[in-house]
Each structure stands twice: as structure tokens, then as C-alpha cells.
Structure 1
Amino acid sequence: MSLIGRHRVLVVSKSEQTEGVITTILKQDEQLVLSGVIADGSAVLAYVFRDRPDLILIDMDLPDLSGLSTLQLIMDHSPIPVIILSTLTSEGSAQTIQAMRFGAVDYFHKEMLVSELSGDGVVTYFLERCKLAIQNGVKGVYPASTQSDGYMDSMQPGAPLINGALLQRRMDIELYLRHAIMKKEFNLVYQPVVDISTNCVVGLECLLRWDNDNVGYVPPSEFIAIAEESGLIHEIGEWVLREACRQNRKWQLAGLPPMFVAVNLSRKQFNDCRLSGTIAAILEETGLEPKYLELEITESLSVEARLAADTLGKLKELGLRIAMDDFGTGYSSLGYLRDLPMDKIKIDQSFIKGLQHGQVNAIIVSTMLTMAKQLNLAVVAEGVETEEELQVLREYGCCFVQGYYYSKPVEVRHIEEMLYQLA
């Protein structure tokens, strides 16, 4: 490939190890070419104006915080995409996170490149991030081009800087996520789905939990997005599916009442063409019958309806059941029911909260239940917390509920206690 169509990358680093690793990695991609390496950050502008690189990689471990000074020079004088390589952002973290908010800077955890972690997955991810930074360019580095979304306030004189610990935590989460499966740090908890006419558990939703010695307990709302962005969601999602199926089969072999276990699918998992094959292999490996695995999807999948229908069709051919989670919270709920082969809807807890006092919510929930019955869909009401809410749902003909009224998500041993009482 000629230089036309290739992206020139400048590295600012004093570390021979960092330089060597990056040079080796860039050679693995035809679209990226190393245009130069400089150790003196103060000379970066002269190099930029002379050779016009498309991307700059700054080693933030330069002495005397000169990495931060280099970043500031670029932001002030030459809007070129920058990726900072850092393990610790020290005093510069607040300014760095400001730059990231304006789209001027991306980051990559340096340890992921220079340690034993730098295998094929990390290298591919790093190269993709480099090209993505070039493709996006610099968005809103200067006040005149900022968006009217509130970010401008943080750049006004005297405005407080963002807590730099947020950036460090984001970087550390991505790093330690790569160890989590190997170190057996993930754990599944289960929340019962209950038939309110019998008070019997008819199914379980499994939920992922992660606790790490270095970053502590990290809620799914924080680490799932990072796992999706980094591509780790495929490995993590496969672990969840396998563990849920394995555990369900183990319960069955122990003589407990057979029931479904529901697993949530992320957007990237759903878009993976290997999904149905992966699930088929897991079912065969664990010995679980497909009818005891339920997959939950949400409207946030943002998939074109025809492609989604094809994917769901392949999954249903395996004998799985499909549920739409958080039903009613998006604008496409009815369209999904029309276009996609669903078995169940789960009414979002926002409609259940205060159901006995909210006339609008009561009308919406009643309408959902009537519609689902006519479409031959099962319904689960999520987030049920009070006897009053349960009574209203019973009057409306809802059969299945899930929520703290019966049980919060609990460890395997507590689920086993519940199921043994039913056996």
C-alpha cells in the first residue's frame, strides 16, 4: 500500500520499551505507519507543522509531567487526534479528562501494551482505537465549536475541573476486566420470577456481578459499557451463558424443579453472527435442554428489524425463548412486537412503581396486559415491591412478577434453599 490512504502516527516517548512495542504493533496494520518518534514534548509542534501526522501517541510517563505539557501544546495550537498512553495520570488527570470530554483525546492503558497482556486481542483493539481516533478527528476542541450540551461550562474561567480519579478508574476497570474471567472474579446472582397465583418460583433471571481486589465492587452499569467498547463483552457474555446453563443443569440433576434461567444479551452480543452457534455449543456442552434457557433483549439493541428478526429466528430454531426486557420504555415497543418473534414481555419497573396511586401507570399496565394476552405473549411485571402493587397486578390478570417483594437477586445457595422448599 502506498502512503496515500495510510495514516501517519507520531509517538512522543522517552521509553525504548514503549517505542519498541508501538513500532512492532503498527507494523501489523497496513493503514498505520510510524512517521517518527520524539522524546522532547516541547518539540512536538515543530514536528507536527513539518510532517503533518494524522495521530499522536503521547506517553504520559514522560518526566516532569511533560506529557501533559505536550498534550496542552497540541490542544492549544494544532487540533490533531491524540491518544495518551498512561498507567497513572497523576496531577494531569483532571486536565486530561477535560480534553477527553471535548473529543480531543482518547486514552489507552499503557500496561495493556507493554505487559504480558498484549496478545492478539489487545493489539487488535489498540489498532482499532487508533483508526477510530483518526476517523473521528477532533470534535469541539475550541469553544467556538463546542456543542450546547453543558460541556462548555467546564471550560469557563474558574469552573471546577472534573475529579481526575474518574479517568483513572475508567482505565483500571478496562485493564482488570481482562483478568476477571481467568481470576474467577465474576459471580452470578439470581432473582426469582414468581407465579402470583401459587407463590411458586417458575424461573430465574441471572445477573452478573464483579468484585476486584484493585478497583473493588464495580456495578454492571459501569463495567458493561466498558466491556462493550473494548470488545470484551463477547468473552464475558459467553461465560455468563455457559455458567447459567451449567448451574441450571446442576440444579436439575440435583432433583430440583426444572425451570428457565433468563440471560440478558447486550447489543454487541446480539449483533455477533456467531451467537446462535455459540449458544448451541454451550447447550450441548452443559446438557441443558433449550426450553430452559431464555434470552432477554431490549429496545436499545438498535438493530434493523429484518436483521433482528433473522437473528431471533435462528435462536428460536434452537428451541430458546425470547423476552423483551424493559418493555414500554422506548419508542419502538409496539413495532418490535409486530416485527420480531417474541415469547414474553417484561413490563418495566417504572410503570409498576406506585401503581396503586398512579392512574396513568395503571391504564398503561392494564393495556399492556390486555394486548399481550391477545398476542399470546407471557408477561412478567418487574420491580414489584409492595403488597398493594401485587394486588393491582393480580386484579389486572398479571400472572408473573419479579421484584423485591419476593426476593432481591441472591447467591446460588439462597436460590437452592428456595427451590428445595418447592421440591
Structure 2
Amino acid sequence: MSTKPSASILIVDDNPENLNVLKRMLSAEDYEVRPLPSGELALRAVQAEAPDLILLDIMMPGLDGYEVCARLQADPRTRDVPVIFISALRDPEDKVRAFAAGGVDYISKPFQVDEVLARVATHLRLNALQQALRAQNARLQEAAALFEVSGEGIILTDAQGVIRRVNPAFTRITGYTPEEAIGQTPRLLKSGHHPPEFYSHFWYTLQNLGYWEGEVWNRYKDGSIHPQWDMITAIRNDQGEVTGYVAQFSNVARRHLTEREIRQRGNYDALTGLVNRSLLLERLDLAFKGHRHQKRQLSLLCIGLDRFKQVNETLGYNTGDLLLQQIAARLTSEIRDVDTAARIGGDEFVIVLVDQVEATATERLAWRLLERLTQPFELPAGNLDIGVSLGLAVFPDDGDEVEVVLRNANIAMSRAKEQGGRQICFFTDAMGRELIERHRLERDLKLALARCELSLHYQPIVNLKSGQPLGFECLLRWQPAEQGFISPATFIPIAESSGLIRSLGAWVIEMACRQLAHWQKRGWSLYASVNVSTRQIPDGVAPDWLLQVTQNLGLAPECLVLEVTESVFATDLESVSNWLREVRALGFRVYLDDFGTGYSSLSYLKNFPLDAVKVDQVFVRDMVEQERDLALIRAILALCQELDLQVVAEGIETEVQRQRLSNLGCTYGQGYLFSRPLPVSAFEDFLQRYAP
């Protein structure tokens, strides 16, 4: 039976032989080992999953070990991971610099196996001890904070019942200051309201059970007497001996009022008055039990507004609140008293329809709700028309548990939104399978970088007359270890919706530039073209960061082309425009990809700084047979010539297409006629055919 690795270790070294030796050595000791060849990849890997220890080389291309360690120390998420430098540098100044960067130890190459294992084990033990101490300190700090901010009065006494400490709430409730209470006993608060046997029973219970709870009448400093609810607990040492007591108390009248408020606030939405999620789940649980016993159906509708965020942003939150209140009123007017209307999120509502004998009755109500909610709302800012999306799931057909049916109704509602909104979507098993698969892919994609499952393929961009490669487009590929190739059309949308596209996109740029620098050193004069997602602009591909990446590798900025699609202009136009101007001012080139397939293309060419457009393959594919496509390409070429923009034609697959484009004045192109996207070695073979 396999056992869980005792610790995870990240090895960072640009020498493959060192990586292999260290990995074999440490894996034999049951450590989980991740070898990486560069500092840049190491910094990204620790963000996905922080190791327990890092073995770090110093002399590496790009970021050296000193800089990697300094960045790890600067990040709160990784500053506590111990770093052992392992380097061939033997100068005392190098070692001092390593410790100054944050290293905990230094091993000289060539290293001894026993020495490495001993130091690794030592620092793992030290780090585990430090983590335990930090956790203990955190618990102590939390306890101290709770003592100070608690709304209940707290008294700490010694074993004889002498008060040693009180919190601010004690003074606020009783009127006694710490100076007046410390050194006294809780008899300071004795009211004379209780008979002697009350205290006898109290002490008997506390001494035998170590705990007492009940109502006590106490006298405050101003002489007034109040009921309190006391909870007293004995504090014991490791030998079980009582070392003191802690007492907590609150005003009973205030407590009863708070309980009533909690029942109201805990069960109903304060804004709309509808049932909230907590009470909804409680009612659903009861309804499911009754319907399961009587073998009846229950329908659950999940309702979401299609553009509620824009309402808040353009008309203000007060208008948004009024809109939600009117929606709640329309929902309650359409359902029976036995049914439930609930608000479970900012703009999400749920309707529970009990005792549904006919599915058609539920469907009729759903369409009636859709019609009712899409009628204009009268608001102070004027009439507002807002779309809604409805998802419907049925118990027990779509699930036998509350959370399952609620989740499935929400999945159906999300599908209605994806399909354009203002419609009803019924849950199907296929939707559930798609969601599970999407979540699995998102989880695996987060670890793909650290697992070295991602790679780049390269498709040449050529001169159409000579076929000479001038550059290449970098295309991301994902090959998980436990399954086959996953199409970019599948995982790129997941990366964009989850936010992973920023880290993946940065990795693509770094790897593309590193490969380009390598090929330029071998004598191939090329440029690299990378796709930039809307979600990356502007912070994910900051101009200063792009300049730093290229400068570190000795690349001229004009060797890097950034491809954007027209969708980028559908976001924050001002920030996109500023980003475009900044990257081009630094010397980088920007191409507009998939030109002609979006909206307002001509205005983009007029108003935004670009270097070239890429004619989408949908026009190239049929240009020989379809005169309209040929006319469109001719118009695009003429327009770009007037605007001094280069043109790259995509998707060229036949010699006739190449010749026709070349005759029209299109200089550059890419497509299967020249080459499919290729891995590194195959692309180098392709380049060899055009070696000078």
C-alpha cells in the first residue's frame, strides 16, 4: 500500500543532469519532487502549489537564484518556504549574498548525497516546528482578540476565584473598571437575590463537572440589579489540576431581544422580505421528506436577472434595490400560498412549487413568470426593461437531495443565460455532466504548468511569393499525463472564465520569447506572434513587464507581435487604447486577429494604433469559389494599403489560394499549405529547409 509523501520539494536548476540526480535521490526517500529548469517557471509553480522546501541553483539564464529567492521572500504566500541554495559558487561573498536573499542553507557543488539528505531533513523538521509555533501564536492572538472585542462580559480568575483580568465588555455592562475588579472575587456582583442553596448547587456542579451555565441576578456598580446568563468553565493544566476559571455573561433581556431579531434576520431577506437561503433549505428539506414519502413531485425554478450589474453601475444601487423589491412583489403575486419565493443572492431568486401533479402546470407558470418579469418596471429613473433567465429542475427526476436539485436548477438557469437570456431552460443530465467535466478541467488546468503538461507549437508566417518563413505564431497545447490531447477550443474558454488565462498567457509569452532568442542565436531571423486575451489587458501583459522579458533575453521589442481580436474593444476602451499606445511606443507590434468577423472593424482601424490585420480564414477558404469572399479580401487589402497596414492571410491550404492572394498584393500568410503548427523539433526541421 502506498503512503503519502513526507514532504514536497521543488528543485530549480538549469542543468538537466543535476535535476535528474537530485530527483532520484530525494524520491528514494519518499519525498514528492518537482524538478524545474528555470527561475521563472519556479515562481509560477509555487503560486499553483507551494512546496515544503526548495533546492535552488544560483547561476541560471533569465532570473538567477538570488532574484528568485528574493521574490519568494517578498510574497507572503511563499516567504515561509525554506530555500537551500545548491551551487558551484564557492566564494564566501556568494554565500553571504545567498543568505542575505533569504536562504536558510548553502550546499556546494559537487554535492554529497548524505549531506544533501541530512540538510533537507533538518530544515524540513525545523520548518515543521516553526509552522507549529506560528499556529500556536496565531491561536493565542485570536483568543486575545476575541477577549477584547467580545460583546459578552468575560472574567478570568485564579483557582481561588480571585479576579485576574476582565475585558472591556465587563466594564461596559457592570460599570466596574479593571482596577476596581482585579483582586476582588465575583462576589463583587452579588445581589442577594439568590438563596444559599443556589450557590451550593452552583459550586457542586462547577467542581464536579468543570462547567456551569444558568441565569444569575447580579448587582452593577450603580446599584441596579439585572438578570444575566452566565457560562463558567474550569481551566485545567496538563495534570488535570484546576488553575483558574473563565466566566462569560450577557444581559438576559438583551439576549432575548437579540434572539427574536436573529430569527427574523436569519430567515428572511431584509430588502425584499422573501425567504432567504437558510429558510429555503429548511423548507425544501421538509418538503422533500413529505414528497418522497407520498411519491409526489416538486418543481424548483431558479431565476436570474440578465443585466442587473449594469443597472447598479448606470442607475445606482438605490435603483437596483427598488428593482429587486418590485421583482419580489411580482413573484409573490404569481404563486400560491403553499409555494415559496426566496431570494438567495444579489439578483437570484428561487420559486418552490409543491404538489405538482402535472408538468405542464409548472411549465405554464414558468412562462407566465417570464412574461411578467420582462414587462417594464416603473422606477424613479424611468421605465426599465430587464431580461430574466429561468432554470427549472424537478424532484425526484433531477435529483433526490435538496442541494442537488437546487444546483441543477441553477445550472439550467446559467444555460439559459449563455443562450442569450429571456428564456426558460429545463435541466438535463447532459448539463450536469458538462459542468462536472468543466470543473475537472479547470482543476487540472490549474496544475498543468507545475506538472509540465503545457507546451507550445509553432506555425510559420511566410512570404507568399518565396515561401520564406519570417515569423511564427505560438499556439498553446495541453497534453495531460492521464488522458489524451485537449483542444484549445475546450480549455482556453475555461482559462478565460476562471482567470487562469493571465498566468497561462504570461507563461506563453515567456516561453515564446525564450525560444525565439534561442533560434535567433542559431541564425534564424524571425519574430514571434502570441495571442493576447481580453482578460489579460492591461495588467496581465503590462508594457513594462513585456519590455523586461525581452530585454532579459536580448530581444528587440519589434520581434514580439501581440495578436488581439476585436472583442478586446468591447471592454474598457480607454484602458485598451492606452495599453495599445504604450506597447507600440516601446517598439512592440500589435496585429488585429480574425479581422472582419466581429463588429465595427473599420472604426477600430481608424481609432486604434495597429501594425497589421490578419484576414480570417473564413474568407480565404471560399475565395476561389465565392466571388463575394474574393471581393471582400480585395477590399480589405485596398483599405489596409491606404492605412499603411500590413496584411497576413490565415488558413491558406491550396496553391491556388496562395497564388490568388499574392496576385492581389497580399504579402504574408500562414496555413496548412506551408505547415501545420509544429512542436519545437519539427519546426526546426522546417526551418532547416530555408537555412541560408
Common topology (TM > 0.5) = yes
1:300 equivalent in alignment to 2:567: yes
> Which residue identity lines up with residue 644 of structure 2 in the other structure?
N
Aligned partner of 2:564: which letter?
I
The 1:161/1:182 distance shift into structure 2, 3 A limit, reads closer
Letter in 2 for 1:263: V
CA distance in 1, matches of 2:513, 2:400: 47
| CA deviation map 1:132-162 (0-9, x unaligned) | xxxxxxx99xxxxx9445x43x36xxxx542
Q: Please list the CA deviations of residues 203-230 of structure 1 after superposition, one character each: whole Å capped at 9, or x if unmatched.
A: 1000111122356432222222222222
Task: Answer whether contact 1:188 1:206 (CA < 8 A) is retained.
Answer: yes
Q: Aligned partner of 2:411: which letter?
A: M
* Equivalent position of 1:100 in the other structure: 411
Contact 1:97 1:162 (C-alpha < 8 Å) held by counterparts: no
What's the offset of the Cα at 1:183?
Answer: 1.1
Residue 651 of structure 2 is matched in structure 1 by: 383
Q: What does residue range 300-379 of structure 1 map to in structure 2 within 5 Å?
A: 300-301=567-568, 302-379=570-647
How big is each residue's C-alpha offset from its partner over 1:255-280, in whole Å with a ceiling of 9 and x where there is no partner?
2x211110000001123276112211
Shift of 1:254: 2.0
Which sits farther off after the overlay, 311-320 or 271-280? Answer: 271-280
Matched with 1:251 is 519
1:39-118 aligned within 5 A: 48-49=267-268, 77=340, 78-81=342-345, 96-103=407-414
- What does the per-residue CA deviation read over 1:309-334, in whole Å, with 9 as the maximum and x for residues that have no partner? 21111101221111000011112211
- The percent of aligned pairs where both chains have the same amino acid is 33
Partner of 2:551: 284
Deviation at 1:99, TM superposition (A): 2.5
- Give, in whole Å, the separation in 1 of the partners of 2:505 and 2:687: 26
Taking the aligned partners of 1:260 and 1:380, their CA distance within structure 2 comes to 14
SS of the counterpart of 1:371? Answer: helix
Structure-2 change in CA distance of 1:314 and 1:348 (3 Å)? same
Distance across 2 between alignment mates of 1:412 and 1:91: 52
In structure 2, the CA distance between the partners of 1:325 and 1:54, relative to structure 1 (3 Å rule), is farther
Equivalent in the alignment of 2:4: none
Contact 2:453 2:479 in 1 (8 A): yes
Match of residue 175 from structure 1: 443
Deviations for 1:78-124, whole angstroms, at most 9, x for unmatched residues? Answer: 34148xxxxxx9998798445223149xxxxxxxxxxxxxxxxxxxx
Match status 1:239 vs 2:507:
yes
Residue 53 (structure 1) shift: 8.4
Match of 1:267 in 2: 534
Check the 8 A contact 1:95/1:161 in 2, yes or no: no
How much has 1:179 moved relative to structure 2? Answer: 0.8
1:175-234: CA deviations, max 9, x gaps? 112111111111100111111111111110001111223564322222222222222211
How far 1:399 sits from its partner (Å)? 1.0
Report Cα offsets for 1:222-257 as digits up to 9, x if no partner: 2222222222211111100000000000111122x2
Counterpart in 1 of 2:458? 190
Aligned equivalent of 1:219, options 487, 505, 516? 487
Q: CA offsets per residue over residues 40-95 of structure 1, 9 Å max, x none?
A: xxxxxx9644997866799xxx9xx99xx9x987958434148xxxxxx9998798
* AA of the residue aligned to 2:454: F
Q: How many residues align?
A: 322
Call closer, same or farther: CA 1:309–1:53 in 2, change over 3 Å.
Answer: same
With over 3 angstroms needed to count, the CA separation of the structure-2 counterparts of 1:379 and 1:74, relative to structure 1, is: closer
Provide closer, same or farther for how the CA distance between residues 405 and 273 of structure 1 changes in structure 2, counting only shifts above 3 A: closer
Note closer, same or farther for the CA distance 1:225–1:393 as it changes in structure 2 (3 Å cut).
same
CA RMSD between the two structures: 3.6
Are the counterparts in 2 of residues 98 and 161 from structure 1 also a CA contact under 8 Å? no
Distance change >3 Å, CA 96–CA 208, structure 1 → 2:
same
Structure 1 residues 275-319: Cα deviation after superposition (integer angstroms, max 9, x where no partner): 112211211222222111100001011234443221111101221
Name the aligned partner's letter for residue 433 of structure 2.
A
Please give the per-residue CA displacement for 1:13-64, whole angstroms capped at 9, x wherever unaligned. Answer: xxxxxxxxxxx9xxxxxxxxxxxxxxxxxxxxx9644997866799xxx9xx
Highest CA radius of gyration, 1 or 2? 2
Separation in structure 1 between the aligned mates of residue 512 and residue 627 of structure 2, nearest angstrom:
38
- Find the aligned partners of 2:631 and 2:539 in 1 and give their Cα distance: 38
Give the corresponding residue for 2:477: 209
User: What runs of 5+ residues in structure 1 fail to find an aligned partner?
Assistant: 1-23, 25-45, 83-88, 105-138, 141-145
- Partner Cα distance (2:641, 2:599) in 1: 21
Describe the shift of the 1:49–1:73 C-alpha distance in structure 2 as closer, same or farther (beyond 3 A): farther
Structure 2 stretches of 5 or more lacking a match? 1-141, 143-264, 293-297, 303-338, 349-397
Distance 1:274 1:368, change over 3 A: closer
The one-character-per-residue Cα deviations of 1:369-417 (angstroms, maximum 9, x if unpaired) are 1111111111011011112212221221111111111111111111111
TM, length-normalised to structure 1 = 0.68
Matched letter for residue 226 of structure 1: I
